[in-house]
Amino acid sequence: MPTPYLLYSSPKGEIYEETRLQALAFGTRPLEAKDLIPVPDGATLSMMPERLAIGRTHTGQQQALSPRRGWAVAALLPIGYTRTLLPGYQKRSAEVEPLPFFGYSAVAGMNGKMYVAALKTDDPRKWLPQAFRRSKLERLVKEKQESHPHNRVISQHAHCALDYSCPTASNLFFARWEMAIAVSPSCNARCIGCISKQEEEELISPQDRLTFVPSVDEIVEVALPHLENAEDAIVSFGQGCEGDPLLQWPRIEKAIKALRARTDRGVININTNASKPRWLQRLYDAGLDTIRVSTISGHTETYNAYYRPLGYTFEEVKESLLRGHDAGLFTSINLLCFPGMIDREREVEALLTFVRETKLNLIQLRNLNIDPEVLLPRMPDLNSFGKELGIRTMIAILKRECPEVEIGNFSRPIRRVLRSVPT
């Protein structure tokens, strides 16, 4: 099999090959052909400024390219692909600024083509850039804003769709699939990788956080036509541009009841940290259909290190999921994947226990968008996590040990389980 060779980016952003050096992943692990797949449609290559491209010579020595030649390069994968290895690099100095919040994946060249360390784990058709044609989106946003000039939810997601290319915000205007509704400017976790609010001065959030709480009428005005008319309609509370929607549970409860009083079509979903089981029970009773809970681990120590929860425990998160199962909801987790951590023996064992205890329906894999050298110093010592098994092996173990649990990347337009909703 061919040996993957080093790719790097010139200072102007052009991608070049260095065929004399074998490509390395993070931690100076040599990349092999079996680690790689062709760079998929929808992926982009990203320069890693102030990080030297490094490779291995034929004698096994590590070698860094001169900064005059350029910088290390990584792939940013489309949703539907899960990275298996992080890119290798060498920081030019200890004082370089942290990388922006993206999910960096290792890349290499073989036979004149570009490859990435990743797996296809779902059908990305609904999430590829060509599904969100810019000219049409701009026209639909303009029409929706003109017809609903006072609805702040529409204004918020117009900003998210046009400025951040958010697929779920865009789907509000395309009137299809999973649509976003942001409701909460506050949160009761301080996630290290939060993309809308950072407490540390050197970490810059890539998005602006919601600054208002929409009314029930604003929510219903946006959500009702989507539920009634959209293809594979899902209305989702809990988006990247907000805190945690559960802190606005009374408003969401009223909105769900109002929506379900008028239609039984579509799916109402919440993406949440699931911190308060009793609050979620009110939403379950109101007619919520699905829940997706964010976690980075099935282990309390790892969870607390990343989420830094305020006023809730990991045991309450598990209770919320189990209550959802018992109430007849379709339950899933948003598993933040960081190769070299989530795929270690301790983490895989803890995840299996967590999945079984909570009786999950679906594990949605997400590439954690963060600079490795921002995350790792804030996490427990990985030496205590056991052997690194690899993302491929982790997924294979989950499928073997929990065959009833689906593994993918996206929410599912499930058929609603009709339940009695209190008036």
> Token pair for residue 42?
């929808």
Pick from 255, 283, 272: which is nearest to 307 by CA?
Answer: 272
Q: How confident is the model at residue 205 (pLDDT cuts 50, 70, 90)?
A: confident
Residue 232 maps to which CATH number?
A: 3.20.20.70
The pLDDT assigned to 206 comes to 86
Task: Tell me if 378 is assigned to some domain.
Answer: yes
Q: How confident is the model at residue 421 (pLDDT cuts 50, 70, 90)?
A: very low
Does 130 share its domain with 115? no
Cα–Cα distance list, 271 to 1, 26, 38, 155 (Å)? 43, 31, 32, 21
**pLDDT mean over 169-197:** 96
**pLDDT mean over 152-180:** 96
Per-residue pLDDT reduced to its tens digit, 206-246? 888 999 999 999 999 999 999 999 999 999 999 999 999 99
Pick from 346, 240, 224, 226: which is nearest to 292 by CA?
Answer: 240
- Say if residue 423's pLDDT is above 60: no
The pLDDT assigned to 415 comes to 61
**pLDDT mean over 321-326:** 98
Task: Tell me if 421 is assigned to some domain.
Answer: no
Per-residue pLDDT reduced to its tens digit, 261-290? 999 999 999 999 999 999 999 999 999 999
Query: Could you tell me which residue, 149 or 411, shows the higher pLDDT?
Result: 149
Average pLDDT, the chain: 95
Q: Which residues contact 43 (CB under 8 A, 6 or more apart)?
A: 75, 76, 77, 78, 81, 116
Does 87 share its domain with 205? no
- 313 SS3 class: coil
Does 300 share its domain with 187? yes
The pLDDT assigned to 418 comes to 47
Task: Tell me if 274 is assigned to some domain.
Answer: yes
Does 272 share its domain with 320? yes
Give the C-alpha separation, 405 to 239, whole Å: 24
Does 184 share its domain with 89? no
Per-residue pLDDT reduced to its tens digit, 362-413? 999 999 999 999 999 999 999 999 999 999 999 999 999 999 999 999 988 7
Evaluate whether 349 touches 398 at the Cβ level (below 8 Å).
Answer: no
- Say if residue 202's pLDDT is above 90: no
**pLDDT mean over 307-333:** 98
Q: What angle do CA 82, 404, 264 make, to 5 degrees?
A: 90
Does 113 share its domain with 230? no
Secondary structure of 63-108 as H, E, C letters: EECCCCCCEEEEEECCCCEEECCCECCEECCCCCCCCCCCCEECEE
Split into its structural domains, the chain has a count of: 2
Per-residue pLDDT reduced to its tens digit, 14-71? 999 999 999 999 999 999 999 999 999 989 999 999 999 999 999 999 999 999 999 9
Q: Say how far residue 155 (Cα) sits from the centre of its chain.
A: 23
Cα–Cα distance list, 144 to 149, 169, 229, 279 (Å)? 8, 13, 15, 33
Pick from 131, 44, 116: which is nearest to 86 by CA?
Answer: 116
Domain enclosing residue 30, as ranges: 5-120
**pLDDT mean over 164-187:** 96
Evaluate whether 38 touches 118 at the Cβ level (below 8 Å).
Answer: no
- 134 SS3 class: helix
- Say if residue 353's pLDDT is above 70: yes
Does 103 share its domain with 182? no
Does 231 share its domain with 375? yes
> Token pair for residue 157?
């997601």
The pLDDT assigned to 416 comes to 52
**Residue that is last in its domain, among 90, 120, 150:** 120
Task: Tell me if 413 is assigned to some domain.
Answer: no
